A and B are shown apart, each in its own frame.
Chain A
């Protein structure tokens, strides 16, 4: 069964009661909320996620309106996980965005069974394209564009690098966060994609999420082998430019973008090193999705045929371990 098998009314009742328990990649989320109509957002954005068959949940999360004046005057939402409230409340209209940010926090702060990197990951023919980038770089727009053109979404935000399967990336197919102009860019580029509620005046500006495609969710337990590491940069009016960059410098950037590289110690170092062993690295600047997507398709298809991948995968010891 999937989440959308419930009617909106049944879902609302479940969320208001014992909770909706569903699978997101390797995690089980138990969601409870007393908010009116929150079920509609969840059904729209997570409708194709499998209902969990597990008796436990990795994250028990709640969204509720705070008590007091804020229930009525400029109403707000609180995010709670296992009784903890890690954030200040946000305006009620930002509830779905808060759920997303809260879930990001749950994963990035607690799931140290993976090396977690702030990066989008998409897959084509079993090979993962990893895109770490700071906010404003156009990472999520490019990720959404690639997914709309048939690439499988592994994640838009939190790349889970396996510590047990060297170089493999775990899927965490959740909605893609779009900000400001990117929302209309994707609406125009891929009108068939589902865009969720708009949250205005957030700390990140206007935010909306694009639902993960059902196929990406259906394949949510499949890993992908890291193969391309791209550092994207959206530059208005720029033609597509893909320039090779060194792996060692890329390693440093990736470590910088990791949430738990230092927590994991040598395990994290070896996991990241394997990713770099597998990946060709590039700086990418772009402004036109119709131009950049075929270029990336060509790049990953060519890299799949490259002997470098076979060599790196059979040489997990790497180049110069000390």
Chain B
């Protein structure tokens, strides 16, 4: 059974609007952020309309309802990832989740398993988004640890030939993306996780590009921490997820301090609430969490397997179409094997910015630039690329329009001289 995309599209009001003087919107920038179904908007608004109060505080009815709504959202996230409720930390963004881990580890005293000492090793990959690179660069600088990385091969996949030397006995952290936001590559985790655990390192997975698009079960993946952002998964902005194994969250020191994350407080010292609460200082982003819950429920109802299959169909159609246009270079795997619905490419003699502008004029929204993965662009030998990224509401004829648009841009920019 394939998706009823027509029915799905009816739930997304923005997809009905026009852009640039009456052009029908073709939204292919889902890797940056997804559009939101009415159900998400309703859930967020309903929280404010009916249940708004500060969760985890107060004994009045609204406070109870707000607490229940927030905890229900947590439970939905847990179910979505195959995790336990108490393993889910609600953050403001995936960027915050990754910074939380880096700063918490930086705070860990020498008798804590997360303590990072000079000479310890932090491992990332060459295809990381800046959000999963810079926090580790900074942690390495603060602690004297060494930052090393796994490189990519010519097809845009991780080169695992040096896995055993890159992840060595000094390695404390391996943090990598599940799916590249530029290449679309889905990274093979089994070998990496096995090697990391063999040397006593934790494995952190940036699932921003995977969790919204495919079924994830954290237990099956064997990893230790995972993060994804709400706004790429039909949810509102301002909400992210951090999952961690219970025993690890228990030992990890907190990062943000303040209300609600404490057990006891005196003028000179404090103790922490159990995880996940010790990582959720301040009044939480309740309405956004409730919105994310509605988004995840929407995805579950459609079915993650179906969504992934649908996106791979679109990806295949697009890659096949691109391969028929002369001179096009695709950055990343050219088959749908271990890849997701993100395709970056270059059109000869047209700068991505100009191509993006031309497509925008036809109502087609794509991403151009370095996609917050500057070092990866350097490794690919390009300054920037054009990226199309698909989601459950995209249709085959939209891919055709994109392919037509690319060819028209070639004619347009080839027009003078």
A associates with B: no
Binding site for A on B (CB under 8 A): none
